[in-house]
A and B are shown apart, each in its own frame.
Chain A
Amino acid sequence: MRIVIVGAGQVGSTIVEALHAEHDLSVIDVARDRLEAIAYRYDVRTIEANGASRKALQDAGVDKADLFIACTSRDEVNLVACSFARIEAPKATTVIRTSNVEYIELWRAGRLDVDFAVSSELETAYAVSRSIGMPTARQTDVFARGQVQIVEFDVLDGADGTLVGPPLREARLPPDSRVLSIIREDSMTLPGGEDSIRVGDRIVVIGSPVAARAWAALLAPGERPVSDVVVYGGGQVGTAIARMLSQQDIGVRLIEPELARAREVAEQLPRCRVFNATGVDPDFLERERIGRAQAAVFAIKDDAKNHYAATLARVHGVRFTIAIVHDPVSTKVYEQSGVDVTINPRGVTAEEIVRFAHDPRTQQVAMLDGDRYEVLDITTQASSEYVGLRFGEMPIRGALIGAIVRDGKALFPRSDEILRAGDRVIVFTETARVADVERVL
């Protein structure tokens, strides 16, 4: 597949990283250094030009493209680039990145001539809200309109003994769920019946929403639903998070250091309490009892300030912290200092966009653990060698089927069930094997 990508920033380079092996990529950007960084690492064509210029797009061969992705940080450039691409290559699928909720709503209403619009802010907010809905989960992804959830858990002390310790064959797993992977000290295994979960592991579980909550309850007994969250930073990301949480009837307090911006946020979010404070003033933290918040989300634009604020909040007693990272390097720093969950807005955006680059049968993709593993949602063809086989008898080649969607309903197959042609299967696999999986199914 020929793909033209406008924008070689973090989102762009993450997309290139995920797609370069299987597709022919052309990357357009105005900054030479960003293009060079990509050109040295991957076998892709780079073009130094303005993506909003029609001539540049013609030079990049956009008329032969199957997929056109505009993912610069500027909405207007993305929109203009996409509308040119629409003229040059009417059949190409177009994807834009936007930070404007209005464009997303227009796209949903079918009034924006692009096939797919992704908002970093919205995707980040979804990720935060999923984490808050399940505090022990590191990452959650939903498939088949929410009928299937894939959740990455940390197994900590105090987890239920019927689950942790005995071999999986004997452990009492919540119904309608399956362990996809056990990650132990950087090595990942696709577990069989004799493997067992140990304290300190990180596990990936697939299941119905009910099962996912049961897993969360078993892994961290006594955990209560979060209803009081403090959000640091009232930028676009922080505002999107606060909006989404308060829509779920979670009480949100938002801290924004700049008065004019604080006022703007307060006007936009009537149900949020907005404070005009730095958030690192001990008097303020004490007076507002920030330490007693059930969770805190850090969405300050500057990673260093964000990190300091998160650490200070932990010092004051906040036990569940979620931080937004802007520089991928910061992820390790945050995790080192005890932040529970980190979310990279550009990462989640790239993940959302990459879903489109896969096989057209593929409906949705999630990336786990950076981008080493992927979850595919794919429809089986009649010619597939797996059709007609029992799940228990399928050869495992670095991929595991976690769930199937038959006639719009999600099923979590037992070993004696048979895969049929036309079933949508949700497959967990290494990124390197994605193409293989797509071929055999």
Chain B
Amino acid sequence: MRRDAAGRVAGRTWLAIDLPGALGLTGTLLAYLSLSSLVPAAVAVGYGEPVWPFLAAGGLAGAVGLGLHGLGRRSPGPIGFREGYFVVSLTWLLAAMYAALPYLFSDDPQLSRPVDAFFEGMSGFSTTGASVVLSPESMDRSLLLWRQLSQWLGGMGIIVLALAVLPRLRIGGRQMFESELPGPEVNQLAERIRDTARRLWLLYIGLTLVLIGLLLAIWLTGLDDAMSPFDAVSYALSTMPLGGFAPDARSLEGFAAISQWVIAAFMVLAGLNFALLYRAIVRRRLGVLRRDEEARLYIVLLGVGTLVVLAELLHADIASGEDAVRQAFFQTTSLMTGTGFAITNYVSWPTLSIMAMIGLMFVGASAGSPTGSVKIVRHLLVGRMLRRELRQTIHPELVMPIRLNGQVVDERTLRAVLAFVLLYVGTFIVGAAALAIDARFSNVNIGVTEAIAASAGTLGNVGPGLGFAGPMGSYAPFSDVSKLVMVGLMWIGRLEVLPVLVLLTRGYWRV
């Protein structure tokens, strides 16, 4: 019998991940994303501001992307389920760095330090809206628009966007799609994931255009003296992804009531599941919203939050009449959906309201929306699991499947939800502790509440914290270490914890 000289047993595989393939795909995504710098470049031309920071940033990102893309040619085949986590995590990290480049290249003193620029970039793409900029008014218009645009791109997801517009990527399954789009499940709108992604983006673009139109109408009719066409575009680009960056240090405080109401209404809208919104708006089946349990709980929680804050505001005599209602509703919506806009500096509100604000940061809006945090559907499922545990204490043999909208949710999904909530809370605690400890070493004056708010605000992609990092303040006073911790929190929060943490396990990399 003849045998090959090479033998049958191959050498041991140490790395179980197709690294060239994963890097290649990441490079492809980055290269396409680099084209987005052309938008602020055009704006810069229009306003007569320096164009080169955007072109340089785009060029650099494009070059790096193409370089990585070249690596991918060495990959043996299409990348699989396992590489997906790495691709998603790395893409978002690189996207934040790419977003930071124009800030660095411009000569704006507020963002001249790499850590600050990276923080701002991650805050943008993760739709957090936490800022180290104290006075955005003094920044270039083109740079401000880039800041808003990064949120808008990050809102519906870079990969979802890539799936929607790019020629066939070498991605087969929906796993990457799902790890990026917030929420435990995606209601499929079409047979092909590409069509689903396309529809979600079209709806997103459509709603953004409607909001721009409404704000422009407010400007044209002179209902709000503070509104300008630039503001209309900026706030729309920040409202739809539930971001929170504002081209004004005082956020929306200076606007008239009508603008604030319109923006609040669109925050509520953007906090709904987009798949559901698509059915309701495009297919004209409004009933789906009324029947959906998550949407119902979302509205109920918004109502309860508003009432609690309103009672406190009236009782403490902070505001009255329509003003009180608007403040309570706007701030509740803004914090719960993870937007982070403010129409008043609530840092000075009484204790109960502050606690409500912090609590709301852990609620989030619906799954399938650009929100951050835990999200309503997980609260709903955890609540039902707890109710089941209580009932099974008395009736140990009782078999109780948990349902969502009448559909049974399988136990594996429930376990994932529970794991998510625990990991989320764990990450939040570690983050808050890290911030508190680092503050002591770097002589930053923050207390427990501020550490908690900063950790919850960045992990939940909400934005503003309390104290100096409040809605009218900035994160600039934090040390570099704290800022990097918060960059990590925003990254982990945007990708829903698991895809990032799974990379930290040995089993991910090894056979």
Q: List A residues at the B interface (Cβ < 8 Å).
A: 256, 259, 262-263, 265-267, 270, 273-277, 284, 287-288
Contacts of A263 in B (CB 8 A): 399, 401
Contacts A270-B406, A288-B397 aside, 20 further interface pairs with beta carbons under 8 A come to: A256-B399, A259-B399, A263-B399, A263-B401, A266-B401, A267-B401, A267-B408, A270-B403, A273-B398, A274-B398, A274-B399, A274-B400, A275-B395, A275-B397, A275-B398, A275-B399, A276-B397, A276-B399, A277-B397, A288-B395
Residues of B in contact, count (CB < 8 Å): 10
A-B contact pairs, 11 of them (CB 8 A): A263-B399, A265-B399, A266-B399, A267-B401, A270-B406, A273-B398, A274-B399, A275-B399, A277-B397, A284-B397, A288-B397
Contacts of B408 in A (CB 8 A): 267
Please name the residue on chain B nearest to A278 by beta carbon: B397
Q: In the complex the two chains form, what is the Cα distance from A273 to B388 in whole Å?
A: 12
Segment 93-127 of B: residues with Cβ below 8 Å from A = none
Q: What sequence of 0s and 1s flags, for each residue 372-405 of chain B, a beta carbon within 8 Å of any chain A beta carbon?
A: 0000000000000000000000011111110100
Contacts of B400 in A (CB 8 A): 266, 274
Shortest C-beta distance, B415 to chain A (Å), equals: 15
Q: In the complex the two chains form, what is the Cα distance from A25 to B355 in whole Å?
A: 82
Q: In the complex the two chains form, what is the Cα distance from A137 to B399 in whole Å?
A: 33
Q: In the complex the two chains form, what is the Cα distance from A276 to B395 in whole Å?
A: 10
Contacts of A284 in B (CB 8 A): 397
Shortest C-beta distance, B406 to chain A (Å), equals: 7
Contacts of A273 in B (CB 8 A): 395, 398
Q: In the complex the two chains form, what is the Cα distance from A284 to B400 in whole Å?
A: 17
Shortest C-beta distance, A247 to chain B (Å), equals: 16
Q: In the complex the two chains form, what is the Cα distance from A380 to B461 in whole Å?
A: 81
Shortest C-beta distance, A281 to chain B (Å), equals: 9
Q: In the complex the two chains form, what is the Cα distance from A287 to B408 in whole Å?
A: 27
Shortest C-beta distance, B381 to chain A (Å), equals: 16
Q: In the complex the two chains form, what is the Cα distance from A328 to B397 in whole Å?
A: 33
Contacts of A262 in B (CB 8 A): 399
Q: In the complex the two chains form, what is the Cα distance from A277 to B403 in whole Å?
A: 22
Shortest C-beta distance, B140 to chain A (Å), equals: 59
Contacts of A259 in B (CB 8 A): 399
* 8 tightest Cβ-Cβ pairs between the two chains A and B: A275-B397, A277-B397, A274-B399, A262-B399, A266-B399, A267-B408, A267-B401, A276-B399
Segment 388-443 of B: residues with Cβ below 8 Å from A = 395-401, 403, 406, 408
Please name the residue on chain B nearest to A273 by beta carbon: B398
Q: In the complex the two chains form, what is the Cα distance from A277 to B399 in whole Å?
A: 10
Q: In the complex the two chains form, what is the Cα distance from A277 to B395 in whole Å?
A: 11
Q: Which of B396, B400, B401, B403 gathers most chain A CB within 10 Å?
A: B401
Q: In the complex the two chains form, what is the Cα distance from A276 to B398 in whole Å?
A: 6
Shortest C-beta distance, B387 to chain A (Å), equals: 14
Q: In the complex the two chains form, what is the Cα distance from A127 to B396 in whole Å?
A: 32
Q: In the complex the two chains form, what is the Cα distance from A275 to B392 in whole Å?
A: 10
Please name the residue on chain B nearest to A288 by beta carbon: B395
Contacts of B395 in A (CB 8 A): 273, 275, 287-288
Q: In the complex the two chains form, what is the Cα distance from A318 to B395 in whole Å?
A: 20
Contacts of A256 in B (CB 8 A): 399
Contacts of A276 in B (CB 8 A): 397-399
Contacts of B403 in A (CB 8 A): 270
Q: In the complex the two chains form, what is the Cα distance from A173 to B136 in whole Å?
A: 93
Contacts of B399 in A (CB 8 A): 256, 259, 262-263, 265-266, 274-276
Q: In the complex the two chains form, what is the Cα distance from A276 to B406 in whole Å?
A: 22
Q: In the complex the two chains form, what is the Cα distance from A287 to B403 in whole Å?
A: 26
Please name the residue on chain A nearest to B394 by beta carbon: A287
Please name the residue on chain A nearest to B400 by beta carbon: A266
Shortest C-beta distance, A257 to chain B (Å), equals: 10
Please name the residue on chain A nearest to B406 by beta carbon: A270
Q: In the complex the two chains form, what is the Cα distance from A234 to B395 in whole Å?
A: 18
Shortest C-beta distance, A28 to chain B (Å), equals: 42
Contacts of A266 in B (CB 8 A): 399-401
Q: In the complex the two chains form, what is the Cα distance from A154 to B399 in whole Å?
A: 38
Q: In the complex the two chains form, what is the Cα distance from A256 to B399 in whole Å?
A: 10
Please name the residue on chain B nearest to A266 by beta carbon: B399
Q: In the complex the two chains form, what is the Cα distance from A274 to B392 in whole Å?
A: 12
Please name the residue on chain A nearest to B395 by beta carbon: A288
Shortest C-beta distance, A342 to chain B (Å), equals: 27
Contacts of A277 in B (CB 8 A): 397
Q: Which of B397, B400, B401, B403 gathers most chain A CB within 10 Å?
A: B397
Q: What sequence of 0s and 1s flags, for each residue 195-212 of chain B, a beta carbon within 8 Å of any chain A beta carbon?
A: 000000000000000000
Q: In the complex the two chains form, what is the Cα distance from A275 to B394 in whole Å?
A: 12
Shortest C-beta distance, A440 to chain B (Å), equals: 56
Q: In the complex the two chains form, what is the Cα distance from A276 to B400 in whole Å?
A: 10
Q: In the complex the two chains form, what is the Cα distance from A123 to B360 in whole Å?
A: 54
Q: In the complex the two chains form, what is the Cα distance from A339 to B154 in whole Å?
A: 68
Q: Which of B398, B403, B408 gathers most chain A CB within 10 Å?
A: B398
Contacts of B398 in A (CB 8 A): 273-276
Shortest C-beta distance, B411 to chain A (Å), equals: 9
Q: In the complex the two chains form, what is the Cα distance from A380 to B399 in whole Å?
A: 55
Q: In the complex the two chains form, what is the Cα distance from A375 to B398 in whole Å?
A: 43
